[in-house]
Amino acid sequence: MKRFLASSTLFVVFFLVIQGCSQAPCGKGIGKTLDEAKCVGREADSLAGADEDYYADMDYGVSKDPALIQSRLAPYVPGITREQAVDAFVKGRNNWIVWTAGNDTLWDELSKASVGNLDFLKTLSSHPSLTKFSRDNRWSYFGLVNEPCYKKATGPRADRYGLWLDERVEGCAPDPFENEEKYPGIKIGARGDNMPLGSYYGYGTGVIGLRLFPNPAFDAKAEKKWDPERYYNDPDYYLNKDLVKPYRVGMSCGFCHVGPNPSNPPADHENPEWANLNSNPGAQYFWIDRIFMWGADASNFAYQLFHTSRPGALDTSFVSTDYINNPRTMNAIYNLGARMELAAKFGKEKLAGGSSNNAQLNEYVPAGTPLTQFYQEPDTVFTPRVLKDGADSVGALGALNRVYLNIGLFSDEWLQHFMPLVGGKEITPIKISDARKNSSFWNANEAQTPDLALFFLASATPDYLKDAPGGQAYLNASEEELTNGKNVFADTCARCHSSKFPDKTLSFFPDQGCNNGDYLSCWGKYWDWTQTDEFKHQMRKIVNAPDFLDNNFLSTEMRVPVSQLETNACSPLATNALKDNIWDNFSSETYKNLPSVGSIEIQHPYSGAVSKYDMPGGGRGYTRPASLVSLWSTAPFLLNNTLGKFEYSGTVQDRMKAFDDAIEQLLWPERRDGDFTVVTKSGLEHPGIIDKTTEQSYLRVSSGYLPGFLQKLEGTLADLLPWLFSGEGIEIGPIPSGTPVSMLSNIDLEQRKKVLKLLLKIKKDLKALPKDASDEQAREVFKDLVDPLIDASKCPDYVVNRGHYFGTRYDKNAVALSNKQKQDLIQFLKTF
């Protein structure tokens, strides 16, 4: 589905499939296409934010206490009244949880572009033919949060065109966001004609973060062809690019961020109450391979690719592909106020060109209030860095707006700038100026994100183990052990993981961030200072202070060179925010001008041989330190969730089991999982993991997704090209079990000549394989392809659980902590 293009023939087929699927846009061409709302004359002011406090029990019930919200927002917006504070809070939370900004257009397109692998209408269903999942096990199987006030479908719903979708529980008040009169949907095509108009917030689905919208393409002709039983039971029917389903599914930010409250977990995670849910923990339990491939067929290489995303991790560039398999954890959002204070100290960035068009807080709050300090006309912003690589460096509102684009806002324009999922087409940047001109949903979203920022300033407080049921049993350290742990943290961890630090720290990053092109020099001098007695003495005083954890983001947000971290390099090699790429308008000139971090060491995925890889500059090569707020509840660890055993339940007991395993692997690298021998810069070795295919797999395109002319020729082609045509579509393979997934997914299609040569070789070698080739026979073919594939890779770093050796004997530049020091440190970390 995504990046492995095993022949030039297959690339052409995918191109034709995707081109054939695309819905006719309103307008034509880049910068001239309107979204559906604009197309029918609906302006942004007709898409206002919802004001019902429907989620009042969530987030510790804070919206029930107007005085508390006011007190939390007053430092940022002095003079804000209780009514204003609550109004902003409620609208911000509604934006986060239920607003999809018209992105049902994108997810409908992707259900076709993915050749049927992604189908949220199936994921949401409880039809008996879907034997792996239903509402009964959504949490344990998918990691999806069942919405309260819904129950499992026991039959086809007449009001949902025969689909087996969750039903509203009797006795529950109506979902206020479905109010068609207050929030009238976009009347376009069949929507508002033979289909209901609905609301621009859609219908509830029974899953938090997914909303249902009448499909404008479901006209009378499509309705006549619709057969819900065949949709569930007949692959010849549902695996077809021409199938028009009655609904499109939209996604809110809450889909990837709302989760069980760690300190007040549900008694039954399959059936939570609103009080058991928070808006900010991040979807730590998502099984992306199952959610985005409802069939979960391990013989499909696309599944093998998604399977490299551990629960709670996702490659956010999988739609606008950058040819790098790069699953990263979905961010929790804690202590935003402390994060903004860090931005004022270290987050200075210069804007230019399209990035200057990002909205800033100054446009929405009274002049002279604290939130106006984060932008100085005409081109300077002080910003937190939300993405792992710090690429979204244009201000808090710009970073938020980019998130909505990434999940489908104004996809009418977005999809014209690249080829979704498979790539191969030259990527061009989406422009904020075009979005403001042509998208009512974009303008409505910009108007709502200031309230979202205020919502998080008022709500994103830590979840403490001491407050969790049974949590005190895990907090049994003595005062001496805690003091020792604090001192170890001050000496070893605080230089990256505290937003409170000695005043002298600021001197190493002049001009509020050292953004003059000499960042590496600034970083190096700072790092050297953190190893001195002067730093450690001052930091110990700070860490031992009673208020150390109060309003502490537990990160510096600095950019740390991956050459020093030694973690997997694929995340800091991401290219979507580089100059002239898709997110060009959402990264600063400061980011785009960052120097190269130099070379790193990588290993051959088969032989283990160590070689040097020169990291490119222009923004790449850095990772911001993760926040350690509520660390006890967020294991597994590392930026891709590869350290620690995953425990699915979400109970306090299982969170602590995951924490114990993850923190041991972090501090004792020799205890890490894997059968690959990792060689570190220290010369020491430890076990490591390379994500490999779990069984023999193929890249498949079902007959129904082939262009018409190929469908007619398929029988003949199956006889002529049995290695390509299976009789049920196109099948490329076999890819033997045990093949490094990223070795195939990271082919850099921008290296056109090299890739063409490689594709021709793959095509020739696969053709030589007999029908139903064994794994052994396939491995013989792939043996000769390994080095050419690595040579064509955009990220040839395959070990996913290496790096972050600070405090261990694998850090050659420091004395390792003793086992006692590590144990005391762990006791302190539990209190975060």
How is 30-84 classified by DSSP, letter by letter? TTTPBPHHHHTT--GGGSPPP---TTTTSGGGGGG-HHHHHHHHTTTSTT--HHH
Measure the CA–CA gap between 410 and 781, rounded to whole angstroms: 44
Number of helices (H), then strands (E), belonging to the chain: the values are 31, 20
Going by their DSSP bridges, the two strands 622-623 and 676-679 should be labelled as: unpaired
| Residue 733: inside a domain | no
| Residue 766: inside a domain | no
Q: What is the CA radius of gyration of the chain?
A: 26
72-90 in b/e form (b: 16+ CB < 10 A) is bbeebbeebeeeebbbbbb
Measure the CA–CA gap between 134 and 144, rounded to whole angstroms: 11
Intra-chain end-to-end CA distance of the chain, in Å: 41
Measure the CA–CA gap between 584 and 677, rounded to whole angstroms: 38
pLDDT of the residue at 421: 78
Q: Report the C-alpha dihedral over residues 326, 329, 334, 340, rounded to 10 degrees.
A: 0
Instruction: Name 117's Cβ contacts closer than 8 Å, sequence gap at least 6.
Output: 1, 292, 293, 294, 295, 300, 302, 303
Measure the CA–CA gap between 805 and 684, rounded to whole angstroms: 11
Measure the CA–CA gap between 13 and 714, rounded to whole angstroms: 13
Which residue bears the tokens 């002529």?
A: 720
Tokens of 802: 């290496």
Measure the CA–CA gap between 132 and 139, rounded to whole angstroms: 12
The total domain count for the chain is 1
| Residue 313: inside a domain | no
- The identity of residue 113, as a single letter, is A
| Residue 65: inside a domain | yes
Measure the CA–CA gap between 636 and 579, rounded to whole angstroms: 33
| Residue 788: inside a domain | no
Going by their DSSP bridges, the two strands 685-688 and 697-702 should be labelled as: unpaired
Measure the CA–CA gap between 100 and 335, rounded to whole angstroms: 25
Q: Report the C-alpha dihedral over residues 362, 365, 368, 372, rounded to 10 degrees.
A: -40
pLDDT of the residue at 7: 36
pLDDT of the residue at 36: 97
Task: Classify 788 as helix, strand or coil.
Answer: helix
Cis peptide before 370 (omega within 30 of 0): no
| Residue 667: inside a domain | no
Measure the CA–CA gap between 33 and 36, rounded to whole angstroms: 10
| Residue 602: inside a domain | no
Tokens of 811: 């850090």
Domain assignment of residue 186, given as a range: 31-47+61-284+330-461
Measure the CA–CA gap between 32 and 15, rounded to whole angstroms: 23
Q: What is the pLDDT of residues 650-667, one digit of tens each?
A: 999 999 999 999 999 999
Going by their DSSP bridges, the two strands 328-329 and 313-314 should be labelled as: antiparallel
Tokens of 81: 């009244």
Closest CA to 357 of 512, 581, 584: 584
pLDDT of the residue at 18: 47
| Residue 387: inside a domain | yes
pLDDT of the residue at 295: 92
Which residues in the chain show pLDDT less than 50?
1-22, 705, 709-710, 713-714, 717-718, 720-721, 723-725
- The identity of residue 109, as a single letter, is E
Measure the CA–CA gap between 331 and 437, rounded to whole angstroms: 31
3-state SS string for 154-214:
CCCCHHHCCCCECEECCCCCCCHHHCCCCCECCCECCECCCECCCECCCEECCECCEEEEE
pLDDT of the residue at 360: 96
Q: Cβ(747)–Cβ(794) under 8 Å? A: yes
Measure the CA–CA gap between 214 and 104, rounded to whole angstroms: 10
Side-by-side strand order, sheet with 247-251: 203-204, 210-214, 247-251
Q: Does this model's pTM top 0.75? A: yes
Cβ count near 499 (within 10 Å): 21
Instruction: Name 431's Cβ contacts closer than 8 Å, sequence gap at least 6.
Output: 31, 354, 357, 585
Cβ count near 410 (within 10 Å): 30
Alpha helices in 101-154 (DSSP H): 104-113, 120-123, 138-142
Tokens of 789: 């594939």
**DSSP per residue over 327-341, as a string?**
-EEPPP---HHHHHH
Q: What is the pLDDT of residues 606-658, one digit of tens each?
A: 999 999 999 999 999 999 999 999 999 999 999 999 999 999 999 999 999 99
Beta bridge partners of 622: 561
